């Protein structure tokens, strides 16, 4: 069934958008950006997708999570790539429905006098609702990517949480080198003045003969 002129013009206009770099300089710039981030944008971005937008999205993820070390950086890049693919599948879903509505337009106009846009969308969705349809396959891809995105996000969160806990423990851990180097205070007890020296005899009371002798020596002198 032929497309209407309005839908045909819309498809052609969309095809001219975001065709990616065509010149050698543009392709070299995209390649340089991929090397800078350690992840080739060409493995994620299709030739008709804007590579610059993916690079900006990747930069936003890196700035938000601020990964430290290669494992965290790899997880952040995987997360950005999964998000980019999810956005792509959402665009594909819209394109599938748009194409089906264009295919159904002539049949609808022949069988109905007036049909609003939401009913046109419902007819298109019904046409694509088969178990083996492109829309069903797309939904399976989207569900798988949602699980992958959440798995990567959980792994990144656990890794960064473990790193933060380790850093806190290291900050609170006592430093044994500082504790062992602390000077010890010496306590000196004052001398006991009441104690007599070991080589000195204690004073003995003076006897009477000794006192008389001492008095005679005074008189003689």
Which pLDDT tens digit goes with each residue over 74-95?
A: 999 999 999 999 999 999 999 9
37-46, Cβ contacts within 8 angstroms, sequence gap of 24 or more: 37/62, 37/77, 38/73, 38/77, 39/77, 39/81, 44/81, 44/84, 44/85, 45/20, 45/84, 46/20, 46/88
Share of the chain above pLDDT 90, in %: 39
Given this model, what pLDDT does residue 30 score?
Answer: 39
Closest to 78 in 3D by CA, of 43, 36, 31, 52? 43
The model's confidence at residue 165, banded by pLDDT at 50, 70 and 90, is confident
Closest to 33 in 3D by CA, of 44, 195, 48? 44
Collapse the DSSP code of 150 into the 3-class scheme (helix H, G, I; strand E, B; otherwise coil) and give the result.
Answer: helix
All residues at 6 or more sequence positions from 202 whose CB lies less than 8 Å from its CB, including other chains: 196
Q: Bigger pLDDT: 165 or 218?
A: 165
Rounded mean pLDDT of 192-205?
56
Given this model, what pLDDT does residue 217 score?
Answer: 75
Q: Evaluate if residue 32 carries a pLDDT over 50.
A: no
All residues at 6 or more sequence positions from 155 whose CB lies less than 8 Å from its CB, including other chains: 75
Given this model, what pLDDT does residue 54 score?
Answer: 93
Task: Write out the two tokens for 134.
Answer: 């492109």
Q: Bigger pLDDT: 188 or 152?
A: 152
Q: In the chain, where are the structural domains located?
A: 18-65, 68-172
All residues at 6 or more sequence positions from 92 whose CB lies less than 8 Å from its CB, including other chains: 138
The model's confidence at residue 36, banded by pLDDT at 50, 70 and 90, is very low
The total number of residues shown for the chain amounts to 221
Q: Bigger pLDDT: 42 or 161?
A: 161
Q: Evaluate if residue 35 carries a pLDDT over 50.
A: no
Rounded mean pLDDT of 95-118?
90
**How high is the mean pLDDT of the chain?**
77
User: Among positive and negative, which fits the CA dihedral 39, 43, 48, 54?
Assistant: negative
Rounded mean pLDDT of 174-185?
59
Encode pLDDT of 119-132 as tens digits: 889 989 998 888 78
How far apart, in whole angstroms, are the C-alpha atoms of residue 13 and residue 98? 14
Given this model, what pLDDT does residue 9 score?
Answer: 54
Rounded mean pLDDT of 31-56?
72
The model's confidence at residue 188, banded by pLDDT at 50, 70 and 90, is low
Encode pLDDT of 47-64 as tens digits: 899 999 999 999 999 999
Rounded mean pLDDT of 182-211?
61
Question: Full-prediction pTM beyond 0.85?
Answer: no
């Amino acid at each position: 069934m032929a497309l209407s002129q309005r839908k045909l013009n819309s498809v052609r206009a969309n095809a001219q958008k975001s065709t990616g770099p065509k010149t050698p300089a543009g392709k070299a710039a995209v390649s340089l950006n991929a090397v800078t981030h350690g992840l080739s944008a060409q493995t994620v971005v299709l030739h008709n997708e804007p590579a610059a937008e993916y690079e900006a999205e990747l930069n936003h993820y890196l700035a938000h999570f601020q990964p430290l070390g290669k494992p965290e950086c790899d997880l952040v890049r995987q997360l950005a790539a999964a998000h980019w693919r999810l956005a792509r599948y959402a665009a594909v879903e819209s394109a599938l429905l748009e194409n089906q509505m264009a295919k159904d337009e002539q049949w609808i106009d022949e069988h109905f006098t007036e049909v609003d846009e939401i009913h046109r969308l419902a007819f298109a969705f019904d046409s694509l609702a088969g178990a083996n349809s492109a829309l069903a396959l797309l939904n399976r891809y989207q569900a798988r990517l949602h699980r992958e995105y959440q798995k990567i996000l959980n792994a990144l969160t656990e890794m960064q949480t473990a790193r933060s806990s380790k850093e806190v423990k290291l900050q609170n851990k006592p430093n044994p080198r500082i504790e062992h180097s602390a000077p010890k205070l010496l306590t000196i007890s004052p001398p006991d003045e009441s104690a007599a020296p070991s080589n000195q005899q204690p004073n003995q009371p003076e006897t009477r003969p000794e006192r008389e002798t001492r008095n005679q020596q005074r008189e003689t002198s």
